[in-house]
Structure formats: structure tokens, C-alpha cells
Structure 1
Amino acid sequence: MSETKKLNIHEDWVVVILGALTIILTLSGLLLPVPVFNWNSITDLTTSVLTASNLEYIGLQFIFVIIVAAFGAFLTGKSVKSAVLTFPSVYVLTMIALVLAGNSQVKALNLEAVIFSLAIGLAISNFFKLPEWFKTSLSTELFVKIGLVLLGTSVIFSDVLKAGSLGLIQALVVVLSVWYFAFWLCKKLKIDDELTMMISSAVSICGVSAAIATSGAIKGDSKKLSYVISMVLITAIPMMIFMPYIAAYFHFPQAVTGAWLGGSIDTTGAVVASGSLVGEEALKISTIVKFSQNVLLGIAAFAISIYWTYTQHPAGKDKETRPTLKVIWERFPKFVIGFIGASLLFSFFITPEVNTQVKGSLKNLQGLWFVLAFTSIGLETNFADLFGKNSKKPFYAFLIAQGFNIIITLIIAFILFK
């Protein structure tokens, strides 16, 4: 036990190391087969998901991620034994969430796996008393940040630039205006600083990923993060369904509709589903705009971390207490370097042919780490903390900011794309 604590590398550097190792191994040819979770009926479940070959894929995936999790515990100076004992339970619960999210009817509602993993974790933690060692050994932040580093591999600058500058211009204008409005609104409603930052980023940039990145940048409370993610996923569903019908009723051009959907709906899956309801051109434009917003994620996380360091200094508002460049660097979330590095690598140095070969495996691992993280958040969270009396104001702020987002994005979409 004492040996594992000799190494005590900062968690943000550890996730950069683990993310880099995952990318290097993948590019070297270690392509993990992607398990199948799609099913329509119980018969499909037994003939596609629960087949021997698919269970083998799930098992191979388990071996890979438990080794990464154990290595992460070792590097951060935590108990490797506790991490290894805890991880199988988290993994099994995560697989159940992925199976539930893989049902065709659930997919039609665009309910993502993270909402099921969070719900399963919450149910267990609230109805059963979990040992304290189990809760303390959960590596929520580690899992989230590894997923964020791998997310960088799917943010390809060339895709956005090839599609044209209008999407990037819209993304920049929308992100800045909506973020500032949401921030101002949260301050008016006297919402605490952590929730203010997470809500502002989630509404304005790219929903779930932006909330996670912001939480990492400010070292936010995972309970608050899970609440913001829940709001993002819940509001995405009616927006995904009704916005295409509103556009059709008012005869919006497809390009305008696509830009509107891509700029205002907070999850990529919901954007794709909604754009598909409108048409091919709308789907293309909506995806471009959403990609453009994703590109801004790393820049936003960097800016937020600098702002947070300057405003959350321990000794009050005296200018002498403001942190130096050295302190800013010490507090800066290093996982952002991993995210940007992965994005630059896959944007400018990896050939399209290689990217095509490896993107399925990397995207699968990225999503898996996120779902594992939300299973862990659920297991360490109490319902009273997640949906307490103080949750009303943040919810109102989120809805109002989302309403502003819908209106301002539509105006900008008409100016740029009509």
C-alpha cells in the first residue's frame, strides 16, 4: 500500500498520460472491437447483444479499461487494490446502462447512456448503504477527464474549415453572447459560482461535454455537474422533437434550420436526430455548426480556468492576493492540453485513412469513460443533494438561458445562412 503512494502525480497530468497511451496504442494497431448494444426486442437482445462473440468484446474492453484505471490509481498515489475491487461493479452497471440505452425505442427518444448510468448509480446509492471505502475509491474525475482527452480526437479542425467559415462565425457569436447572458442571469438569481460556470458553458457551447470540461477546469462538485447534465439531457429531447416542426410550420430554409438546430440543441446526438427530420442539407449544416462549437471547447476551458483562478483567490478581493503566472499554471487544468493536443494530432498529422481505421475504437472508448464516470457520480450522490430545494433557481436559469439561446441562434442563422 505504501509503495503505491510513492507516486503522486497530479490527476490532470495522469489523464494526459493515460489518454496519450490509449491513442498511441490505438494508432499502433491495438483496435478494440466495439461491442454491439443495439436491440429491438428480447429476441434481438439474445441474438445480438448477449452472443458469445459480443460478450467476448465486452470482456476484452473490460480488461483494457481496468488496466488503465489501475494504472491511473497507481500514478495518482491511490490504492490500486481498492480501484481494482471497485471497478468491476462500476463496469457491470455501466454495461446495463448501455444495454438499456441501446433499445430502439429509447434511441428514438434520444435518451443517452449517461442518463441511465446516472439513474442506476443514484438508485443503488439511495436504497442501499455502500461501504465508505467503496465510495472513496471511485475515480469519477479520472474517468471524465480521460474521456475528454479522447474527445479531442474527434474534433477535427479541417472538417470545420472545409465546410466553410459561416458555421465557425455563428458558433463564435452564439457562444459569446449566450455564455455572457447565462452568466449574467445566474448572477442575478444569486446562483453559486460553480453552477453558474457549468450552466453558462453547457447552454452556450456543447452541452454535456462543455459542462464536464468546465467542471474539470474549476474542480467543480460532481453532484452539481450531474444536475447540470440532467438538465441538458432532459431539455434536449423536446427541443429535438419540436424545433423541426416549428421550422417546417414557418417555412424556414433548410440551411437556416440546420444552423438553428446545430447552434441551440446541446447534444450532438440530438442535433443529428433533429437535422435528419428536416432534410439532408439541414443535417449537414447542423453538424458543421455543432462541430464548430466543439472546436471552441478547449479554448473555452482554458479561458474559464484563467478566470476562475483570478476570481476565486483565497484571500479576498485585494489585488495583492491575485495569483501569479506560476500559480495560474499550477491551477490550470492540464487535461485541456491533452484535449487540444489530441485534436491537433488528428486534425493535421493523422491521415484520413488512418483516422477512418481508428476513430470507431477511440470514439467507443471515449463514450465508455463518460458513462463509467456517470455511474460513479450516481454511486456517490444522494437524491437530496441532486434535487434539493436549492435546485429550483439553477433550473429556472437554465430554461431562461436556453430560451435566449434559441432566439439569438435563430436570428444569427437567418443573417448568415438565408
Structure 2
Amino acid sequence: MTDKIKPLHEDWTVVILGSLVILFSLVFYIIPVPVYKWSSPAELGTAIFNTGNLTTIFIQFIFVLIVGAIGAMFTGKPVRNFLISFPAVYLLTIFALIVAGNSFIKSINLEAVIFSLAIGLIIGNLFKLPQWFKDTLSTELFVKIGLVLLGTTVIFSDILKAGSLGLIQALIVVLSVWYFAFWLCKKLKVDDELTMMISSAVSICGVSAAIATSGAIKGDPKKLSYVISMVLITAIPMMIFMPYIAAYFSFPQQVTGAWLGGSIDTTGAVVASGTLVGEEALKISTIVKFSQNVLLGIAAFAISIYWSYHKTAKGSDVVEKPTLKVIWERFPKFVLAFIGASVVFSFFLSPTTAAPVKDSLKNLQNAWFTLAFTSIGLETNFKDLFKNENKKPLYAFLLAQLFNIFITLIIAWFLFSDATQL
């Protein structure tokens, strides 16, 4: 069947599927939210492995399986192989969600994506997985669908409640950190694709920005997986230690929140870190991070134009002219769905209409992200991070992240140290 269908570009597939998921939830059926919270082994049976919750998990499995199978069909992947491999990926992901649902794990703010990545890395590096299995992993498809659903949580009115400070900081941080990371990568002679992905990941919003940039420049998926792995690995110590550093130096909550939101590269880690500090820090950190997320679409468009101007075709000295057609071809189309979802939930849906579906869509977003990071782990060779030829990108990323931490703190202090009321 797939042989008779011309494969659709993955970004357009994501636009269609992400939009249909949101429309399905708004009009037809709200996918129930499974429970993964537990405190003791005895509670596992009553809280998680009861008939009702297992049924909910199964409903979500069927829904995501159908969406993924349609995605495989649209993009020209063997649907049969996907249907065989996906249940294994889903089971590993459920295991990660259950581990992350433990009350102790929650108390130290470790996210499910960290465990799903770790599980995938362990299995992918200890066992030789068949190539057909790796070929069916829909990492980018899952992450991009999760990003479209993330748009339903980026509510412009919430951002504007903090005034212009969050947006001002986001703009200054993104521009300064992106340029520094870009300059540093060039100095260290990192290749062009990794330079663009690293610069965007460090400066804008981590994984989301790396994926958007990869789409804009048609980047190598292996390089993208490498950058995503670096983002997630560095997010863990930042998420845990930065709140304690802020407490040690008695930073005001507003400053701490702006610092966390501007420098930690994943939205979930920002929320977890902000929670450690306090309610005000959580609010400011979330708004600053969402402000950076809003800049994602603009950044992707700018990178599309830059890449069209400067990227020389392989084996040729002729630079591809940045015509509107070229820019449109390079523009990551799923960003349109991300922005569209944000606009719809910000301006066109009443709170009474949006409220019932928000928890379900948030849960599905988390499920797709976690599935994606399980897949990233399964297809990533962890030892590649420490190969000689990959030391320079790693050094560039770590140095750029260090610069990000310090410059964001300075900007946050300048903007938020006197902001006692937001």
C-alpha cells in the first residue's frame, strides 16, 4: 500500500497529524489521562495496575499507535514494521513514566524523558538492535507532534501578564547567546550543521529549537540526535544545582526564575527547577521560557533565510539563491502548526471550551516527547559523544552553555531585581 502512495514530507505529516489530534480532542473524544503516581510497591497495584488505569493506558496506546502508523504510511515507512516495533518502544516508555511517577523521584524533580532516554541508551548500547527496527523509530515525528501540542500551552495572555520584561530578556538572551555559540563553533571549526543546531539549542529552547533548526537546514538526523543528547544530559545537573546556587547566594525569586527560564534548555526542566525555588520563581521561569518558545518560529524563519544565503551545495561553488521558493522549502512547516495551536488556544477558544481538553493534550504531549526520547536513546551510540572527532562540538556546547548561564544571570538581575510586582 505504501508503495502506491507518494511519501509526504515529514513536516507536512506533522502539521496534518498534530492538527487532527487537537481537532479530535476538541470535537470528538478526549483521550483519558493515565495515572503514574505512586509512593510504595504496594501502591503500584492499586494506583497504576488496576483495571481502570490499564484500560486508560491501553486507549492511549491504541490512539498513539494509529497516529504513528498513519505517519509511517504518509512518510513512506513500512507500516507493518512500525506496528511490530512500536509496542516495544511504548512498553519501555511506560516503564520510564512509572519510574518518574514515584513520589521520591518527583521530589527531586527528575522527568520521565530523562529515564526514557537512559533506558533507550542502555538497551541501544548493550544490545545490537536490527537495522529494520532502528529504521522504524519515528523520533522526529513524535517530537514534532509533541511540539505542535506544546503550542496549546503557549498562551499569549499569560506571557503578557508579566509585562514586557520576560520578552525583553528572551530576546536579549537569544540574540547574545546564539551569536556567541555560533562564533565559538566557528573558532573550534565545528561543521556548519552542528554549528546551527548547537547555537539554536543553547540559546532558544533546547530540543525544540534543535529540531526546528534541523528542519530549516535539512540537517543530518544523527547530528540532531547528538545535539539532543547533549541538551538532555546537561539539563539534569543544571535543573538540580541552579536552584541551590540561587538559594546559597540569596537571589530574589524573580531573578532566580528569570535565570532558570532563560538558561535551562527544556521546558519541563525549567518547571521542575522553578518548583524547587517557589511559586514566584516558577511563574517567572515559565513565562520567560514560553517567551523563548514564542521566538522559535521567528528563529526558524531567520535560519531558513541565512542557510539559503550561505549554504553552498555539496561539491559545488554555487550558492543557492534565497528565493521565496527556496526559503519556503527550507522552512520547518510544523512550526506553522505550533504557532497555529498557540493562536487558537490564546484567542479563539473560550476557557470553558479549552479547559476540558488541556490536561489530555498536555498528557499526550508528554507521552510523545517521552516516546521520542526512548527512540533517541535506542538509536544513539552514547560512546559517540566521546569520540575524538566529536570533542569539539561537545566543548563548544558546554562553553556556550556556561556563557548562557552567566549572561542570563546578569540580564535577569538587571531586569528583575527591582521587579517586586509582576
Give me the TM-score of the superposition, normalised by structure 1. 0.92
| 2:163 paired residue number | 164
How does 1:380-391 map onto structure 2 within 5 Å?
380-391=379-390
Higher mean C-alpha displacement, 276-285 vs 308-317 = 308-317
Q: Which runs of 4+ in 1 moved over 6 A?
A: none
Q: Give the deviation of 1:316 after TM superposition.
A: 6.8
Closer, same or farther in 2 for the Cα pair 1:217/1:46, shift >3 Å?
farther
Q: Distance in 2 between matches of 1:381 and 1:255?
A: 38
Q: Distance in 2 between matches of 1:262 and 1:378?
A: 26
| 2:236 paired residue number | 237
Please, which runs of 5 or more residues in structure 2 have no aligned partner? none
Residue 147 (str. 1) matches residue 146 (str. 2): yes
Q: Give the deviation of 1:169 after TM superposition.
A: 0.7
Give per-residue Cα distances to partners, 1:179-234, cap 9 Å, x unaligned.
11111111111112222222212221122322233233333333333333333233
Q: Give the deviation of 1:116 after TM superposition.
A: 2.2
Given that 1:201 and 1:210 are in contact with CA atoms closer than 8 Å, whether structure 2 keeps it comes out as yes
| 1:104 paired residue number | 103
Q: Distance in 2 between matches of 1:244 and 1:132?
A: 42
How does 1:245-256 map onto structure 2 within 5 Å?
245-256=244-255
Q: Give the deviation of 1:320 after TM superposition.
A: 5.8
| 1:373 paired residue number | 372
Closer, same or farther in 2 for the Cα pair 1:333/1:208, shift >3 Å?
closer
Given that 1:236 and 1:267 are in contact with CA atoms closer than 8 Å, whether structure 2 keeps it comes out as yes
Closer, same or farther in 2 for the Cα pair 1:191/1:81, shift >3 Å?
same
Closer, same or farther in 2 for the Cα pair 1:253/1:198, shift >3 Å?
same
Q: Give the deviation of 1:26 after TM superposition.
A: 0.6
Given that 1:37 and 1:99 are in contact with CA atoms closer than 8 Å, whether structure 2 keeps it comes out as yes
Q: Which amino acid aligns with 2:84?
A: L
Give per-residue Cα distances to partners, 1:1-55, cap 9 Å, x unaligned.
4x55323222211111111110100111411111112222212222212221111
Give per-residue Cα distances to partners, 1:227-257, cap 9 Å, x unaligned.
3333323333333333333333433333222
Given that 2:258 and 2:285 are in contact with CA atoms closer than 8 Å, whether structure 1 keeps it comes out as yes
Q: Distance in 2 between matches of 1:403 and 1:129?
A: 36
Closer, same or farther in 2 for the Cα pair 1:382/1:249, shift >3 Å?
closer
Q: Distance in 2 between matches of 1:320 and 1:265?
A: 36
| 1:295 paired residue number | 294
Higher mean C-alpha displacement, 51-60 vs 102-111 = 102-111
Q: Give the deviation of 1:391 after TM superposition.
A: 3.0
Give me the TM-score of the superposition, normalised by structure 2. 0.91
Closer, same or farther in 2 for the Cα pair 1:346/1:279, shift >3 Å?
same
Q: Secondary structure at the match of 1:205?
A: helix
Closer, same or farther in 2 for the Cα pair 1:46/1:309, shift >3 Å?
farther
Q: Secondary structure at the match of 1:243?
A: helix
Q: Distance in 2 between matches of 1:281 and 1:37?
A: 27
| 2:360 paired residue number | 361
Q: Distance in 2 between matches of 1:379 and 1:253?
A: 41
Q: Which amino acid aligns with 1:163?
A: A
Higher mean C-alpha displacement, 242-251 vs 84-93 = 242-251
Closer, same or farther in 2 for the Cα pair 1:380/1:405, shift >3 Å?
closer
Q: Secondary structure at the match of 1:149?
A: helix
Q: Give the deviation of 1:97 after TM superposition.
A: 1.8
Number of residue pairs aligned between Structure 1 and Structure 2:
417
- Identity over the aligned pairs, expressed in percent? 74
How does 1:199-210 map onto structure 2 within 5 Å?
199-210=198-209
| 1:11 paired residue number | 10
Q: Which amino acid aligns with 1:51?
A: N
RMSD, matched Cα: 2.2
Closer, same or farther in 2 for the Cα pair 1:131/1:267, shift >3 Å?
closer
Q: Give the deviation of 1:359 after TM superposition.
A: 1.1
How does 1:394-405 map onto structure 2 within 5 Å?
394-405=393-404
Please, which runs of 5 or more residues in structure 1 have no aligned partner? none
